[in-house]
């Protein structure tokens, strides 16, 4: 069974997450399926990409594959982590990537959705950013992605509570572009890709890349970088980090001690 299904509809590439049994957890293998599809679509000069899960799913993506997170002592979200590679692949793809979202979006799955250029969701969609639930120290690039999406008090609430935010609140906050009923969302998104395809692909790709560079342009001093990396190291070296991962594997609630 393919973890990812792909097809080209006219000038639009469609990627469907297809690992329903594992709630589309972002494993290295699933991510490779997505990045391979993006490379193929780029060679086919598609004008837009739709990233979706199977119609009717309860979970769009359960986030990073927890079983692939390293044990304590190693940065779980380093530059070469598959999730980081996927985020960059979406952000650097030279045409708009539209997230067609149904169901729950968890952890790194939220960042994948937020890395997309346009987000269209069904009413049952929820977004839960959950590093605190697992005891994971989110990385700076990931924080930039999410901070660029929603006001600071909201992103702090999402990070500190790890609770799901419903689609209507996400729409009110400008996190997503539209909410569409299940029976309308696919046609709505395909029509949007047709509008995009009618415009200049060069102009669009240059504006997309320019916006990526602009919103990512944060002056960061070596001291700031080293300070934040040191803070993150305290977390991924901690007992709590290992406890979060063990608790998930053992299907029990974690008992965090702050050590
Ligand atoms: O027990 P089996 O083998 O059937 O597998 C179960 C789950 O273990 C598996 N699964 C996952 N495997 C690896 N990584 C995951 N993130 C993951 N999520 C689920 O899928 C099978 C079905 O799961 P189950 O029985 O729990 O399904 P459900 O429908 O009752 O509940 C769906 C969820 C998504 C509510 C539940 O699976 C869940 O809470 N998953 C974890 C969501 C989460 O906390 N994700 C964050 C992962 S860490 C991450 O993304 C970043 C590093 S960070 O934390 O920094 O954002």
pLDDT single digits (tens) 103-150: 999 999 999 999 999 999 999 999 999 999 999 999 999 999 999 999
What is the Cα–Cα distance from 21 to 32, expressed in whole angstroms? Answer: 18
Q: 218: pLDDT confidence band, cut at 50, 70 and 90? A: confident
**Given the residues 103, 104, 108, 244, the one annotated as active site:** 108
Which segments of 79-221 does DSSP mark as H helices, in order?
82-92, 108-115, 131-134, 140-147, 152-161, 167-173, 182-197, 201-215
pTM (two decimals): 0.97
- Which residues, 6+ apart, have CB-to-CB distance to 126 below 8 Å? 103, 104, 105, 164, 165, 166, 167
Pocket test for ligand 1, best of 31, 61, 75, 106 (most atoms within 8 A of CB): 106
Where are the domains positioned within the chain? 4-193
Characterize the bridge pairing of strands 165-166 and 126-128: antiparallel
pLDDT at 137: 94
> What is the phi-psi region of residue 128: left when phi exceeds 0, alpha when psi lies from -120 to 50, beta otherwise?
beta
106 within ligand 1 shell (Cβ under 6 A): yes
Supply the mean pLDDT for the chain: 97
pLDDT at 1: 84
Residue 138 annotated in active site:
yes
Q: How many CB atoms lie within 10 A of CB 213?
A: 9
pLDDT at 219: 87
Residue 73 annotated in active site:
no
pLDDT at 126: 98
Percent of the chain with pLDDT over 90: 98
Among 11-20, 45-54, 214-223, whose mean pLDDT is lowest? 214-223
Ligand 1 centroid to Cα of residue 46, in Å, is 32
State yes or no: pLDDT of 245 exceeds 90: yes
pLDDT at 193: 98
108 within ligand 1 shell (Cβ under 6 A): yes
Q: Identify the CATH number of the domain defined by range 4-193.
A: 3.90.226.10
Q: C-alpha angle with apex 65: 61 to 66, nearest 5 degrees?
A: 125
């Amino acid at each position: 069974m393919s973890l990812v299904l792909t097809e080209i509809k006219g000038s639009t590439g469609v990627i469907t997450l297809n690992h329903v049994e594992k709630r589309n957890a972002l494993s290295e293998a699933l991510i490779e399926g997505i990045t391979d599809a993006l490379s193929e679509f780029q060679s086919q000069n598609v004008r837009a990409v739709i990233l979706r899960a199977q119609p009717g799913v309860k979970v769009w993506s359960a986030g990073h594959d927890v079983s692939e997170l390293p044990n304590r002592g190693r940065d779980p979200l380093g530059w070469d982590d598959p999730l980081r590679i996927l985020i960059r692949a979406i952000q650097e793809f030279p045409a708009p990537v539209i997230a067609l979202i149904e169901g729950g979006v968890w952890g790194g799955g939220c960042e994948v959705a937020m890395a997309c250029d346009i987000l269209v969701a069904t009413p049952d969609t929820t977004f839960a950013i959950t590093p605190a639930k697992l005891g994971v120290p989110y990385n700076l690039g990931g924080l930039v992605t999410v901070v660029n999406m929603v006001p600071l008090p909201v992103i702090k609430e999402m990070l500190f509570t790890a609770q799901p935010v419903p689609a209507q609140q996400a729409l009110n906050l400008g996190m997503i572009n539209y909410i569409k009923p299940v029976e309308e969302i696919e046609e709505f998104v395909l029509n949007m890709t047709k509008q995009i395809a009618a415009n200049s692909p060069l102009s669009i790709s240059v504006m997309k890349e320019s916006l990526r560079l602009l919103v990512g342009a944060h002056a960061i001093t070596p001291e700031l970088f080293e300070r934040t990396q040191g803070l993150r190291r305290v977390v991924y070296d901690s007992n709590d980090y290992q406890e979060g991962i063990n608790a998930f594997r053992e299907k029990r609630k974690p008992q965090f001690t702050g050590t």
